[in-house]
Amino acid sequence: MDRPRHGLRGRVLRNFSGLLAVRGINLVIPVLVLPYILRRIGLEAYGQIAFALAFATFFGAVIQYGFGISAVGRIARARGDDAQVARVFGATFATTLLLTLVCALVYGAIVLAVPAMAAQGMLYFGAFTLVAATALFPHWLFLGLERSYLAALVMLFVRLGYVLLLPVLIRGPQDYALVHLLNGTTVLVGVLAALGIAVYGLGVRPVRPTLAEVRGTLRQGFRVFLIQFVPNLYNNALVFVLGLSAPAALVGVFSVANSIVEVVISVGRMLSNAFLPVLAKDMSVHGKYAALMLGLGGAAALALLGLAVPLAGFLAPDNGPEIAASIRLIGLSVPLAGGYLAYNINYLVVSGQDGAAAGITVAGSIAGMGLVLALVPALQIDGAIAVLLLTRLGLFAASFLHYRKLQRSGGKMQRISG
């Protein structure tokens, strides 16, 4: 495993293109097949599968445990030391498997205990399969080694398999419970293929970790886990609480609109992650990166304003106006999300201020949960949109103000210890 020798721009573009391919395929394919799914199962059934996925995603966030950030940094710093990379690989993947087992037991117990969920057991089993498989995919290894294009090739082939199987298995409303299961099964195939490439293609053979190494992996990634997990409390609670207080069709409208905006925000996350290996070694480029994130976020919000109507009409012609209005409003949060990534995760965390970053994220997300409970039951979809905008504004503002405080004080910062 030789250390890549590229200029800054080349390294970031290479990392970003690989991430764009891996996660872009994961995000864009579901959006592209969305018109087919909506026509086959209907908006109300789509609301039901969105509700199930929102519940399962709480557990998926626990399984991921922030390794998309913490493990990337550890592997990037170990690159060139094959033995250390193998140890980090083994400890991280073993920890992910352990978290998957624990979450599966808790998730299954809850589903069986709630009659409405137990009656749709296949739907909830498929939702968990999807989030667990996504969390198990070792994209963090390929990104840390700056070989993310290999993971992209794997994901491309498994996603093509999903698209080809979709019209075979999803033919009518009675098949709605199979959508997540089909999706998750194809991702599991990708996990096995990615592990094979890592071991036999890159020569990274994971070392079986000790219990102490697993505990150390959990401890080292805990603050990053909080930063990524706590926002899921209000993000997924939006759909969950909306599903408890509004008709399934209205949940479908919000979920369709939010999924479009999430695709755009996720491109920003990919760009943010592409900079991680670079920023972990050289924070002097952060200013250019932050300006890029804010500029692209503003441009994306304007693009969503103009494209909302044709997008909504393409995805769900019968509910186009409602979905377009939601896309436009939720789209205003894109630059706010980009600013949070720039000044929280990719500045405070990478610079060693992960305690402050976690504090901002936890406080903002708890406030968001309060807003969910206060606004969504009464205002339904309007309340859900308001929660997204207010919470993302608060997270961005608090992160930026802390960044400015450190800049003014010339605070002494250090990288996250490996």
Tens of pLDDT along 61-115? 899 988 887 888 788 888 888 888 999 999 999 999 999 999 999 999 999 999 9
For residue 94, the enclosing domain spans 1-220
Average pLDDT, integer, range 245-268: 89
The answer to whether 354 and 416 have CB atoms below 8 angstroms apart is: yes
Enter the tokens of residue 137.
């995919």
Higher pLDDT, 107 or 275: 107
Q: Are residues 129 and 237 in the same domain?
A: no
Choosing from 220, 250, 276, the residue where a domain stops is 220
Same domain, 264 and 197: no
Alpha helices in 114-178 (DSSP H): 115-118, 121-136, 139-144, 148-169
Interatomic CA distance for residues 280 and 352, integer angstroms: 10
Residue that is last in its domain, among 169, 200, 220? 220
End-to-end Cα separation, the chain, in angstroms: 19
Question: What is the reported pLDDT for 133?
Answer: 96
**Do 69 and 137 sit in the same domain of this protein?**
yes
Residues 240 and 96 in one domain: no
Report CA 37 to chain centroid distance, whole Å.
22
With beta carbons less than 8 A apart as the criterion, state whether 272 and 143 touch.
no
Instruction: Compute the average pLDDT of residues 251-265.
Output: 90
Considering 220, 244, 272, which residue would you say is the last residue of a domain?
220
Q: Is residue 185 within 8 Å of 192, Cβ to Cβ?
A: no
Going by the DSSP 8-state scheme, the letter that residue 279 receives in this structure is: H
pLDDT recorded at residue 7: 55
- Tell me the H-state helices in 349-417: 354-379, 381-409
Interval 136-153: pLDDT, tens? 999 889 888 878 778 888
Q: What is the pLDDT of residue 52?
A: 93
Is there a single domain that holds both residue 290 and residue 160? no
Amino acid letter for position 88: V
Tokens of 106: 């808790």
CB 285 within 8 A of CB 38: no
User: How far is residue 54's CA from residue 205's CA, in Å, rounded to a whole number?
Assistant: 35
Contact 366, 310 (CB under 8 A): no
Give the model's confidence band at 279: pLDDT under 50 very low, under 70 low, under 90 confident, else very high. confident
Residues 62, 214: Cα–Cα separation, whole Å: 15
For 391, residues 6+ apart whose C-beta sits below 8 A from its C-beta are 234, 364, 365, 367, 368, 371
Please report the pLDDT score of residue 25 as a whole number.
Answer: 67
Q: What is the pLDDT of residue 119?
A: 94
Q: Reply yes or no on whether the pLDDT at 390 is more than 60.
A: yes
Angle at CA of residue 361, ends 134 and 250, nearest 5° = 60
Count CB atoms within 10 A of the CB of residue 60.
24
pTM of the full structure = 0.74
Both structure tokens of 138: 């070792």
Per-residue confidence band for 418, with pLDDT thresholds at 50, 70 and 90: very low
Both structure tokens of 344: 């929280």
Which DSSP letter does residue 416 get?
Answer: P
Q: Residue for token digits 């150390």?
A: 216
**Same domain for 271 and 202?**
no
Q: Do residues 155 and 21 lie in contact, with contact meaning Cβ atoms separated by under 8 Å?
A: yes
Rounded Cα distance between 187 and 137, Å, is 8
Regarding whether 383 and 328 lie in a shared domain, the answer is yes
Over pLDDT 70: what percentage of the chain?
90
Does position 206 have pLDDT exceeding 70, yes or no? Answer: yes
Total domains, the chain: 2
Q: What burial class does residue 332 get, using C-beta atoms within 10 Å of its C-beta: 0-12 exposed, 13-18 middle, 19+ buried?
A: middle
Is the pLDDT assigned to residue 13 strictly greater than 80?
Answer: no
Q: Is residue 21 predicted with pLDDT exceeding 70?
A: no
Looking at the fold, whether 15 and 105 belong to one and the same domain comes out as: yes
Shared domain check, 361 and 292: yes
Q: Say which residue, 193 or 220, is predicted with more confidence.
A: 193
Position 345, amino acid: I
Q: 408 and 337, same structural domain?
A: yes
Q: Contact 376/387 with Cβ under 8 angstroms? A: yes
Q: What is the rounded average pLDDT of the residues 402-415?
A: 68
Average pLDDT over all residues of the chain: 86
DSSP string, 209-267: PPHHHHHHHHHHTHHHHHHHHHHHHHHHHHHHHHHHHS-HHHHHHHHHHHHHHHHHHHH
pLDDT at 416 over 90: no
- Is the pLDDT at 308 greater than 80? The verdict is yes
Determine the Cα–Cα distance for residues 108 and 54; give it in Å rounded to an integer: 15
Residues 161 and 253 in one domain: no
Q: Domain check: are 340 and 401 in the same one?
A: yes
